[in-house]
Structure 1
């Protein structure tokens, strides 16, 4: 259950990052609310996952999901570069997260 909470924590971190960009572009109360809610839920789920998972592993996976996901969302929604090298390194981040799960 803690691994599922950790994955969802990473997904909510992605939504928070996406809302940071939206907030900078629009300055709406909706964007600000979604930003705070996204990061708030992310931290709550990370806190729950840390009750049984090693801190280093959990943090690495949480930030890996957030980093890779934020980059991919930037490519999809904001037209950021889709350079093949960027995609390779995103794959390395995700592969590292999976590797940490397999050895934990």
Structure 2
């Protein structure tokens, strides 16, 4: 269950990052509340996952999901560059997250 919590935490992190950008574009109360909700859910599920998973592992996976997901959504939704080098290094982050899952005991 800890890995499920960690994946949800990573998705919350991605959502929070998207909401930072949305709040930057349109400073509305709704954008701010969505930003707070995304990061709150992210931290809650990260904490739940860390009841079982080691802190270093959980944090590495959480930041990897958030960083890669934020960059991918930036490319898809906000016209950020999609060059091959960027995609290659994003895929290395994703591969590292999958690798950590494969070699972890839980």
Q: Aligned equivalents of 2:13 and 2:100: distance in 1?
A: 19
Q: Whole-Å Cα distance in 1 between the matches of residues 15 and 102 of structure 2?
A: 26
**Does 2:79 align with 1:102?**
no
Kindly report the root-mean-square deviation, in angstroms, between the aligned alpha carbons of the 2 structures.
Answer: 0.5
Separation in 1, partners of 2:12, 2:39: 6
Alignment-derived partner of residue 17 in structure 2 = 17
1:1-104 map, 5 Å:
1-104=1-104
Aligned counterparts of 2:15 and 2:28: Cα–Cα separation in 1: 16
Unaligned runs of 5+ in 2: none
* Partner Cα separation in structure 1 for residue 103 and residue 58 of structure 2: 12
Give TM-score scaled by structure 2 length.
0.97
Unpaired segments ≥5 residues, structure 1: none
Deviations 1:48-74 (A, max 9, x none): 000010111110000000000000010
Aligned residues: 104
Alpha-carbon shift at residue 77 of structure 1 (Å): 1.0
Mapped partners of 1:28, 1:88: distance in 2? 36
Q: TM-score w.r.t. structure 1 length?
A: 0.98
